[in-house]
Amino acid sequence: GAGVSQSPSNKVTEKGKDVELRCDPISGHTALYWYRQRLGQGLEFLIYFQGNSAPDKSGLPSDRFSAERTGESVSTLTIQRTQQEDSAVYLCASSFWLQSSGNTIYFGEGSWLTVV
């Protein structure tokens, strides 16, 4: 596709429910990142997928958070038993590493999650 696509763009859920957020990276991009951004805050790294390597899950804040990616395509971020503090924008980004250009990453529009 033309850019990184995320869905849903907005999600309101009740505390305790599970949510799934989807990211469709730019075609051919081997690397995929998930970030969380609370209102007025910075980019909080969650997880990083690179090709067929084991994902870097070092940023996941608790075992309620998990993410999957099939090959070099779509990724899903799942938050179980949502809490109010999970309310944030969840940003997905992808990149295609080239030695000549580095690994510039491109962000999606984000999924705005509100837990009530």
Partner 1 sequence: GENVEQHPSTLSVQEGDSAVIKCTYSDSASNYFPWYKQELGKRPQLIIDIRSNVGEKKDQRIAVTLNKTAKHFSLHITETQPEDSAVYFCAASRRDSSASKIIFGSGTRLSIRP
Residues near partner 1, by CB under 8 A: 30-31, 33, 41-43, 45, 48, 50-51, 53, 56, 91, 95, 97, 99, 102-110
CB of 105 to partner 1, least distance (A): 6
The H or E element spanning position 21 is: strand 19-24
Closest CA to 8 of 77, 101, 57: 77
CB of 17 to partner 1, least distance (A): 25
Alpha-carbon distance of 105 to 61, in angstroms, equals: 23
Query: For residues 45 and 80, which CB has a smaller minimum distance to partner 1 in the complex?
Result: 45
Closest CA to 83 of 8, 16, 20: 16
Query: For residues 48 and 65, which CB has a smaller minimum distance to partner 1 in the complex?
Result: 48
CB of 9 to partner 1, least distance (A): 11
Helices (H) and strands (E) in the chain, counts: 0, 10
Query: For residues 20 and 56, which CB has a smaller minimum distance to partner 1 in the complex?
Result: 56
